[in-house]
Structure 1
Amino acid sequence: MTERALVARVREHVHGFLRDLHGQGLRVPVSKQRVFLQAIEAAGPRDATELYWIGASTLTASRADLEVYSPTFERWFGAARARPVPEREFPDEEEPAPRGKGDEAPFAAAPGGEAGLEAGFSERVGRPAFGTASRDERAVLALLRRELRGAVPTVRSRRRRPARRGPWIDVARICRESRRSHGEIVTLRRRNRPRRQRRVLLLIDVSGSMKQHSAAYLRFAHAMVGCLDRVEVFTFGTRLTRVTEPLRARDVDAAVAALSEVVLDAEGGTRIGPSLQEFLGNARHVTMARGALVIVLSDGLERGDPLPMEAAVRRLSLLGHRLLWWTPLACDPAYQPVTRGMAAVLGSVDALAGVRDLRTAYEQVQTLARE
């Protein structure tokens, strides 16, 4: 067999293995497949065990993925010698420390984590496709719109309004009415400060590690913008983007589709700390957060220095009425916020809850209403 024919046969075997992984339910995006092939070329595995761990570190992102990957690898390449699973293998269990100059790994993780399972550094500029809402999602959105008004906390208005009861006498109104009765005061009119809904600030993570949940979060934001008076929505991945105006469209699919022209960093890297600091660096944005119900929808997988993220979240907590952090990882009962970013901000967060889709968001809205 010529060298060219051998290379073609090996290539077909490897691609057959990747197709089989997809057929077994392990959805590996093209970017991760590319990193896997580059790692094979760079590392030059000498046996099945080395090849196994190259694939495990580049194609899997959780222990569930590994349970699909292992038997599939064995069918295509044979059994690999046993080796303990590294404790820092998976990003949802422990976050790797940032690499400095000279620390480059032999092969890097896929930029942006397109499978929606990893946080990355790199920026992906393009037009994301958020898809359309299903019938079940539209039904949940209708329920959300009914619950949201009663779930958002209220605050006393600064302006005084005419009221039946109140601590202030409405002198101007009394004088106007007394003209009809020749100067006699018939009814003592009063003024009060009525209650109104607090401002709501939504900060939505659209990075690659949140790809599976971003569309549902944006539909939730559309429901909020449509039924509440004072809502501001921002997305962040590698940059901060205000998306309140596009979400004012009446139809949820039209509103979310319009975001593909605005949110250009979706499915890219993760820069939570710098994005939040950019928000706080704008005086107009700070006004939006002051006294507001602040909801951050993010997995909190910050790949860089967690100190900017910690400082920004602490200031957001001080500015707002309450700071809620909703993450899809917390839907797992065994979840513990042990990554450096989440461990650093946990003390500034008023409530940490699990939200991965519209139904779990509806459950959290019901919890807010009860509180």
Structure 2
Amino acid sequence: MPDDLTPPDYSLPDAGAEGGGKLIQNIMHFGRTLRAAGLPVGPGKVLDAVEAVQVAGITNRRDFYWTLHAVFVNRRDQREIFDQAFHVFWRNPRLLERMLQMILPEFRGDGDEDKEKGQEMNRRLAEALKSENPGGADPQEPEEEEIELDAAMTWSDRELLREMDFEKMTAEEILRAKQVIRDMRLPIAEIKTRRFRPSPHGLRLDLRRTMSATMRSGGDEIALQRRKQRTRRPPLVVLCDISGSMSRYSRMLLHFMHAITNDRDRVHTFLFGTRLTNVTRYLKHKDVDEALVQVGDVVNDWSGGTRIGHCLHEFNRFWGRRVLTQGAIVVLITDGLDREVGEGLAGEMDRLHKSCRRLIWLNPLLRYDGFAPKSQGVRAILPHVDDFRPVHSLDSLEQLAEAIGRPSLRRREGMDDWLAELRRVEDEARQDAD
């Protein structure tokens, strides 16, 4: 075989070498690193990884890589961070120094989105490796650590933090974002009711009060009494998806829900994954940490599957008449990825849309420029919403607050482009089926 086709040597050091005999502990530390970098890794996956390695063996580095990959990686967007973490952790601990240098600001050409995405992942991985110091890696030089730490901390000023994706934030940036969310205030958009109240500047005459005032004066003079319509704040109902694909966003959005629950009255919050849970009374606790602890105790389907149609059916049947009163505004937060492929979803969305004053759909997938309504769940939801918005950053939350606070718009205003895109996708699907 020619030399240029000779495969590289992927064999691992034997157990007798320095640092050997600690494979199980290193797999455990590797799992902790992946979890700190944002992957959903728990004790169960670590045990599965140990068992898989025992079955597959560690005589070949490539087999070892794909064995751990099969256990720890569940989605396509997790591959790059796993690949970087594997090569830093298992091959050469000194690569951590190079990885930390990659988070330093540098100039990039326009359109270099893939490189920017890789850098953002590297920042999360670098932070995770610094916190873990896994695999018995050699400690870094104090001067170098301080320089890299300073660079990481100065990467995100206030403007960058507002535009940054929640999924790409470091732990420090998430903490700062939570503080911004805690101080958010929701503008109150009051709507007119059918009832009236006395007002000297009202446009309508109040004949009953006018006659009463005339009788009290003995009929000598007629003092015209006026009235105007009463206004009130509409109820706000939030339905938030907490499935595995939404976990990073739903945990940040819970802070936003807590802020608006304590900022205004008549806010009702429901979480759903495979079942629906009403968490309204827990979010009314003034301490956000205590409120989220209570929410975590009562919700049992965190980071699981999604049954959007089933959960909306349960909401419409048991909660709709209780909370969708007096022109309620509904905010639906989900990526539209349904385990049941949108079964029964269109009918439940139609019923929900007809039961509320305005239905706003927040989808984190809208952060991608190439997003198209191709999944069955998205296609079932989209025709029944009045507003379609992204929810992935602090800016998107502030824009949502402004949208809710604006005076009432007509139904489905601004949805023409999305409905046209939906028709195009459905036409392509029918042509492919034919």
TM-score range, shorter chain: 0.5 to 0.7
- Indicate yes or no: 2:365 matched with 1:329: yes
Secondary structure, aligned partner of 1:191: strand
Q: Which residue of 2 aligns with 1:363?
A: 399
Larger radius of gyration: 2
Corresponding residue number in structure 2 for 1:298 = 334
1:19 partnered with 2:19 = no
1:138-157 aligned within 5 A: 138-142=179-183, 144-145=184-185, 147-149=186-188, 152=189, 154-157=190-193
Asked if residue 67 in structure 1 is aligned to residue 80 in structure 2, the reply is yes
Aligned residue in 2 for 1:285:
320
1:21–1:72 contact (8 Å) kept in structure 2: no
Question: Counterpart in 1 of 2:120?
Answer: none
Question: CA separation in 2, counterparts of 1:316 and 1:45?
Answer: 54
2:301 corresponds in structure 1 to 265
CA contact 1:225–1:231 (8 Å) conserved in 2: yes
Q: More displaced, 167-176 or 23-32?
A: 23-32
- The CA distance in 1 between the partners of 2:248 and 2:324, in whole Å, is 27
**Structure 1 letter corresponding to 2:277:** T
CA offsets 1:113-139 (integer angstroms, 9 cap, x no match) = xxx99xxxxxxxxxxxxxxx9465334
More moved, 267-276 vs 29-38: 29-38
Q: Does structure 2 conserve the Cα–Cα contact (< 8 Å) formed by 1:221 and 1:247?
A: yes
Match of 2:239 in 1: 203
Secondary structure, counterpart of 1:250 in structure 2: coil
Selected match of 2:178 from 127, 133, 137: 137
The worse-fitting range, judged by mean Cα deviation, of 53-62 and 158-167 is: 53-62
Cα distance between partner residues in 2 of 1:348 and 1:198: 20
Pair 1:27–1:15, CA change in 2 (3 A): farther
How large is the RMSD of aligned CA atoms in angstroms? 3.7
CA offset at residue 300 of structure 1? Answer: 2.3
Conserved? CA contact 2:273–2:307, under 8 Å: yes
Aligned-pair CA distance for 1:34: 4.1
Q: How many residue pairs end up in the alignment?
A: 307
Is contact 1:220–1:358 with CA below 8 Å preserved after alignment? no
Q: 2: distance between equivalents of 1:71 and 1:230?
A: 47
Compute the TM-score of the two structures, normalised by the length of structure 1: 0.68
Instruction: Provide the secondary structure at the position in 2 that maps to 1:201.
Output: strand
The answer (yes or no) to whether the contact 2:237–2:268 under 8 Å persists in 1 is yes
Greater helix proportion:
2
Q: Does 1:163 align with 2:173?
A: no
CA distance in 2 between partners of 1:14 and 1:29 (Å): 16
**Amino acid in the other structure paired with 1:68:** I
Partner of 1:94: none
Change (3 A) 1:163 1:71: closer
Instruction: Note the C-alpha offset of 1:65.
Output: 3.0
In structure 2, what is the equivalent of residue 32 of structure 1?
A: 45
Work out which of the residue numbers 284, 308, 318 in structure 2 matches 1:248.
Answer: 284
1:189: Cα distance to partner? Answer: 1.0
Amino acid across the alignment from 2:299: V
Q: Contact 1:201–1:233 at 8 Å: present in 2 too?
A: yes
Cα displacement string for residues 54-90 of structure 1 (whole angstroms, at most 9, x for unaligned residues): 543442245553223335556759xxxxxxxxxxxxx
After TM superposition, the structure 1 stretch with the greater mean CA deviation from structure 2, 348-357 or 196-205, is 348-357
Cα distance in 2 for partners of 1:309, 1:339 equals: 12
Report how far residue 21 of structure 1 moved. Answer: 6.6
Shift of 1:182: 1.9
Distance 2:361 2:301 in 1: 21
User: Does structure 1 conserve the Cα–Cα contact (< 8 Å) formed by 2:31 and 2:46?
Assistant: no
Q: 1:320 aligns with which of 356, 373, 394?
A: 356
* In 2: Cα distance, 1:21 partner to 1:178 partner: 83
Distance in structure 2 (CA, Å) of the matches to 1:280 and 1:11: 57
Task: Find the counterpart in structure 2 of residue 340 from structure 1.
Answer: 376
SS of 1:246's equivalent in the other structure is helix
CA spacing shift, 1:286–1:40, aligned 2, 3 Å = farther
Gaps of 5+ in 2: 1-14, 92-165, 168-173, 408-434
